[in-house]
Structure 1
Amino acid sequence: MKAAFELVDFGHDCSIRVYHRQLRRIPFEWHHHPEYELTLTLNSQGKRYIGDSVTSYGADDLVLVPPNLPHTWASNRSIDDAQPQVAIVVWFDGAWVRRLADVCPEYNGLCDLLRRAACGLAFEEGAGARMRDHLDRLLSAKPRERLHAALDVLELLSTLPATPLASPGAFDARTGAANGHESDQINRVLALIETQFSRPLRLSTLAKASGLSERSLTRHFTHHLGESVGRYINRVRIGHACRMLTDTQAPVSVIAMRSGFPNAANFNRQFKAVKSMTPVEYRLQFTNTSQDDESMSPRLTERSASLQRRESNRIDRKQRKARK
């Protein structure tokens, strides 16, 4: 399933966009956009899809999604059936945040937050409740009040623990790269892995590309990425496989080969160890998600027109099919 492109319109006088969505259930809308997205989900429980990460979510779910990483939530169950499900969404541009930190060192922590969010972040329990304390200001009719509230929330989140979500190979854009000569060496290794992951990769080859000894590369890589070279390569391969499982109808054996697993049985074992499901089961997570959308009562802004058109086209196709 190809992710739809969502065009996020900030307006001519706003640095961020806040969207208050209320609906009876949250539909599966697999999409991506070049902005960062902070989403707080209230009175909802279901499945959260961030890149190749598929996990259950519940009350006060709070996630930061990086640019161009496909994502969606899907829920048919409310925690309180008498109330609508709610999504509070804040979109912002990463370059804008970095420029802000350049002139206002008080916001340096936001750059660290963006680096941490390169694969998406799910914040730990309690973070959503703390964001709720800012909702009156986030949903203010005054753009300046919304901006101040969003910056306060992001600054708060930069200090809170969170869990990375997607594999590094689950999407094309790489964000939040660190600076410095040592990081340049690591980035050369990452670039080599990104282009050669379908082939056997030896530590000696990667060390040569970085200009480091194997021992130094191992140490620096773990310092920058928080995991070993081998584990990172495996996650890149699994991430690429996940993208092929959702975007193509290629057989699992072909996907395994193109993702760097010449042995299909080993691919199935490795995939299940990482995703807690088989490749076939993972693909079904995306093919069994169609559901009729419900009318919604948006506050502050309307749903992005690019996704509205896509949903309208989907409904038209269903109606034409029903008439045949």
Structure 2
Amino acid sequence: MKATYERVEFGDSRSVRIYHRRLPGIPFEWHHHPEYELTLTMNSQGKRYIGDSVAVYGADDLVLVPPNLPHTWASNRSIDASAPQVAIVVWFDGAWVRRFADVCPEYGGLRNLLRRAACGLSFEDGASAHMREHLDQLLCSDPRERLKAVLDVLHWLSQLPAAPLASPSAFDANTGAPSGHEPEQLNRVLALIDTQFAHPLPLATLARASGLSERSLTRHFMQHVGESVGRYITRIRIGHACRMLTDTHMPISVIAARSGFSNVANFNRQFKAARHFTPIAYRRQFAGARRAEDEMEPALTERSPSLERKAAR
């Protein structure tokens, strides 16, 4: 089964991304991404799938997943049926953690932690209890406090025993892990869209940036991002327009042009289809505030759009 490629959005000038997930049950969502993922699951019991490792998990399950290893949790039963299941997910890029350990000898153990996590690690109950003690800092509104808490938790984990999960063969194409350079090629395209969305972006231009043919880019985009190239570009443009509508007093025609729409009529039609308001009504409804889904920094309770779309199918 092919794993969905999840694009983790960190926001501007952020080293870590934290996702506070609360829901009645955890659905099976087989996916992968190029970041490390540390996940603490609470009030949940079910099965955990990490590469070719399948295990039953219970309260306060704490796991570190390496980059590009497919994984998911699946549960339809809470331990306490009156409360939601909770997952605290921490994503981070291994490259900066290694650089940080290089210049700060006090955190040298982080390099060994990442090496040990090559096939995933499951930590003992004491580790999850320690992470729970840091929840206030991990979920703090101040990104610096969150970063300090993540470093403290990772440093603590680097000193603890943990059980490896997947086997090295779990990275084979047969398990659904990425077998080529699709994530890197798609990231080049996504970066180009994110910076040039206000300009025309023909498929041929994006294909050249990715090094793929137009047909291959279209196929990989649908497979890994979960929607067509055109729909993704429109979503980025609408998001930018939402910010301008709530943060500025610019005329609708100017906002349309600066968001990449060639004419106001097309902008109005696309905006209403996406937000169920006309741009003017949206401005009245949300004047002075940004909706969480359009923040430059993703909200702690907001998940990756690629998996939201997958779940909605």
Q: Deviations over 1:248-299 (max 9, x none)?
A: xxxxxxxxxxxxxxxxxxxxxxxxxxxxxxxxxxxxxxxxxxxxxxxxxx96
1:1-324 matches, cutoff 5 A: 1-172=1-172, 243=175, 300-312=300-312, 314=313
TM-score computed with the length of structure 2 as normaliser: 0.60
In structure 2, the residue corresponding to 1:7 is in which secondary structure? coil
Paired AA for residue 106 in structure 1: E
Paired AA for residue 67 in structure 2: P
Whole-angstrom CA distance in 1 between matches of 2:300 and 2:19: 6
Q: Deviations over 1:155-207 (max 9, x none)?
A: 000001100000101015xxxxxxxxxxxxxxxxxxxxxxxxxxxxxxxxxxx
In structure 2, the residue corresponding to 1:102 is in which secondary structure? helix
1:301 shift after superposition: 4.1
Q: Deviations over 1:21-49 (max 9, x none)?
A: 00000000000000000000000000000
Paired AA for residue 47 in structure 1: K
**For the Cα contact (< 8 Å) 1:21–1:299, is it kept in 2?**
no
Whole-angstrom CA distance in 2 between matches of 1:146 and 1:83: 25
Whole-angstrom CA distance in 1 between matches of 2:299 and 2:130: 21
TM-score computed with the length of structure 1 as normaliser: 0.58
Deviates more, 1:124-133 or 1:38-47: 124-133
1:274 aligns to what? none
**For the Cα contact (< 8 Å) 1:45–1:59, is it kept in 2?**
yes
**For the Cα contact (< 8 Å) 1:28–1:72, is it kept in 2?**
yes
In structure 1, the residue corresponding to 2:56 is in which secondary structure? strand
**For the Cα contact (< 8 Å) 1:20–1:86, is it kept in 2?**
yes
With over 3 angstroms needed to count, the CA separation of the structure-2 counterparts of 1:299 and 1:25, relative to structure 1, is farther
Whole-angstrom CA distance in 2 between matches of 1:162 and 1:8: 26
| Deviation >3 Å, runs of 4+ | none
1:13 shift after superposition: 2.0
1:125 shift after superposition: 2.1
Whole-angstrom CA distance in 1 between matches of 2:77 and 2:44: 6
2:269 aligns to what? none
In structure 1, the residue corresponding to 2:46 is in which secondary structure? strand
Whole-angstrom CA distance in 2 between matches of 1:310 and 1:58: 26
Paired AA for residue 60 in structure 2: D
Tell me the percent identity: 74
Paired AA for residue 142 in structure 1: D
1:300 shift after superposition: 1.8
**For the Cα contact (< 8 Å) 1:27–1:75, is it kept in 2?**
yes
Q: Which runs of 5+ in 2 are unaligned?
A: 179-297
Paired AA for residue 37 in structure 2: E
